[in-house]
Amino acid sequence: MTATVLDVDLLPALACAGVRHRFGDHTAVDGVDLIVQQGELFGLLGPNGAGKTTLIRLLNTQLPLQEGAISVEGHDVRRSPMAIRRLLGYVPQQLSIEAALTGRENVAWFARLFDVPRRERKARVADALETMGLSDAADRLAGTYSGGMVRRLELAQALVNRPALLVLDEPTVGLDPIARAGVWQRVEELRAATGMTVLLTTHYMEEADALCDRVALMHLGTIRADGTPTELKESVGPDATLEDVFRHYTGGSLGAETSRGLREIRRTRRAARRVG
Amino acid sequence: MSAEVAPNLWLRFPSRVNTFCIVELQKLSHDRTELFTRAVQPILWLVVFGQTFNRIHAIPTGDVPYLDFLAPGVIAQSGLFVAIFYGIQIIWERDAGVLTKLLVTPTPRAALILGKSFAAGIRAFAQVIVVLIVSALLGVALSTNPVHIIGALVVVVLGAAFFSCLSMTIAGVVLKRDRLMGIGQMITMPLFFASNALYPVSVMPSWLRALSSVNPLSYEVDALRGLLIGTPDHLGPDFLVLIVAVVAGVLTASSLVDRLAR
């Protein structure tokens, strides 16, 4: 294992340097350098199997860092994992709520787990539910929510500790277009209201184009290009889309890489089970 | 935006236990079906098995009626049956993505497992209240001393906490719900029969007595009998064994929880 020293003048929200992670003989993340500045809405784009989720799981301390360095708000993931967890709001790829609790109880659960003081808890829970437009449904069992409402409930859970960095791993996957639009609207409103740094992963290029201040294209564990969507599109040619940019830098289309990515995922999971 | 002030590491343990117990009570309050369905089996043990063996005097229990002797065993058994399948919940949480989120909260792994194990204790506690009421209705001479009753409930929670840790440990090894179900079913009855829940240790063959002496369920039943029906007890050693078992269970299960989330 080697540690790379981070060299940044300003304190970024997230800094990754030389990050590499293997599952057995499969390299899921292969030398990633990445800076996300304070207040940015940053998109990590790539097909399934590109290594986006592994990178997220490294920065949120779920996986041990094998090689390289990651800091979140100046805290090193190896030295201060608990401090980092306090600063993060995290929405995983799967729809993940406790269906046997109400929406309010789901959010209050995470308020307690993040040690939100008791005197503030009730108001903070109500505020998070209100921000996500769930006040009216707050006392219904979460098992009765639609997919879009579940996602918004997860966002409310992730916001209740007032995180410095909100991490959304494929937040709209599996949602219908209306629900997807609803989730993005809430994320944009939230960011406009708070200036919070948001890191999201997605393979919906058009959504990233419309939403993100900067994006990084990830493919087979490496960052192939990063910049603002406009810069990246201009680097390829007039009228180029982010899909064209992706094709230009990776040599393949997103759709073709997705099927290859599924094979990669299966291989990665098998390897993870073997070494786990 | 601001992160919360981190409480002392040791304060986080009782805080997380409290959190998971509240969540368990909230779940129970929304769906009480399980309380009634799970009460059927212990009631059968007491009403059918207990009353029958009470009449035929087949098991020597001294001056204590067999039904009285059996009731603490059935209480312990109810807690065991609730707790031994508790690992299924952590596998379900893994499958539903909830475990991933729990693991990135500022909660030490051991505090997470301790919280969940005491939540299992709360579920067993609710179950035991039902069994205590049925026992009283059947005429079991239970202690009415509130200290003894509280002590018995603490014993039930400790027992359930240990067996839920055992279940979560198995979950961390086998990783799949079906496998955990199979192993849970395989070990539940041997744990029950290799204890003093149904018959006194004195009537056991030596090999079963040896198994009983390393079975935490036996210490749980011994403490319950002492507290609830006033048989000669060994409360100090019983509590010590249960507490050591819970600590060992929490440490073992928490060392495997990351494996579940990979």
**CA-nearest residue of chain A to B20?**
A109
**CA-nearest residue of chain A to B98?**
A96
| Contacting residues of A for B15, CB less than 8 Å apart | 112, 115
**CA-nearest residue of chain A to B26?**
A101
Nearest to A134 by CA among A172, A107, A112, A115: A107
User: Who's near B71: CB < 8 A, 6+ residues apart?
Assistant: B46, B50, B131, B135, B140, B142, B228, B229
pLDDT given for residue B232 in this prediction: 80
Q: Which of B16, B31, B97 is facing A96, going by the closest CB pair? A: B97
> Kind and range of the H or E element at A100?
none
Amino acid residing at B137: L
C-beta atoms of A60 and B101 within 8 A: no
C-beta atoms of B27 and A101 within 8 A: yes
Number of CB pairs, chain A paired with chain B, less than 8 A apart: 98
C-beta atoms of B5 and A90 within 8 A: no
| Contacting residues of B for A94, CB less than 8 Å apart | 96-97, 100
C-beta atoms of A101 and B30 within 8 A: yes
- CA distance linking residue B42 with residue A6, whole number of Å: 62
| Contacting residues of A for B16, CB less than 8 Å apart | 113
The pairing of beta strand A75-76 with beta strand A67-72: antiparallel
Residue B1 has pLDDT above 60, yes or no: no
Instruction: Give backbone dihedrals phi and psi of A237, rounded to 5 degrees, phi first.
Output: 155, 170
DSSP-derived secondary structure letter, B199: S
C-beta atoms of B96 and A96 within 8 A: yes
| Contacting residues of A for B102, CB less than 8 Å apart | 113
pLDDT given for residue A273 in this prediction: 47
- Per-residue pLDDT tens digits for B73-125: 999 999 999 899 989 999 999 988 899 999 999 999 999 999 999 999 988 88
- Low-confidence residues of chain A, pLDDT below 70? 1-10, 252-276
- Per-residue pLDDT tens digits for B175-224: 999 999 999 989 999 999 999 999 999 899 999 999 999 999 999 999 99
Q: Is B2 on the interface with A (CB under 8 A)?
A: yes
**The CA-based dihedral angle spanning residues B185, B189, B190, B196, taken in that order and rounded to the nearest 10 degrees:** 150
